[in-house]
Amino acid sequence: MATDPVCKKEVDENTPNVLKAQFWGKRVYFCSNECRINFRRDPQKYVPDSAEGKGPEYDKTKTNESWRV
Ligand SMILES: [Zn+2]
């Protein structure tokens, strides 16, 4: 099981069509599209450890371009 970084609910990552995003090499899963939207809006708020100082080109001003679904 994975944990939804937004609401902290457990998400079964093996569910077909599970909602997920890739953020600096870390894969994150969401229980709902609402959580995914919240994450998209401010990813570093939800995964500060994996965001801060890790990607070689990490730049807070480019957060919206540094992750993909
Ligand atoms: Zn959620």
| Mean of all residue pLDDT scores within the chain | 78
The yes-or-no verdict on residue 29 having pLDDT over 80 is: yes
**Regarding beta strands 2-3 and 10-11, do their DSSP bridges make them parallel or antiparallel, or are they unpaired?**
antiparallel
Residue 30's alpha-carbon distances to 8, 11, 44, 62, in angstroms, are 9, 7, 15, 22
Q: Near ion ligand 1, which residues have CB within 5 Å?
A: 4, 6-7, 9, 31, 35
47-61 pLDDT tens trace:
766 545 555 444 555
The yes-or-no verdict on residue 46 having pLDDT over 90 is: no
Model pLDDT, residue 56:
47
Spacing, Cα 59 to ligand 1 middle (Å): 26
Spacing, Cα 45 to ligand 1 middle (Å): 14
Spacing, Cα 2 to ligand 1 middle (Å): 11
Work out the average pLDDT over 6-13.
Answer: 95
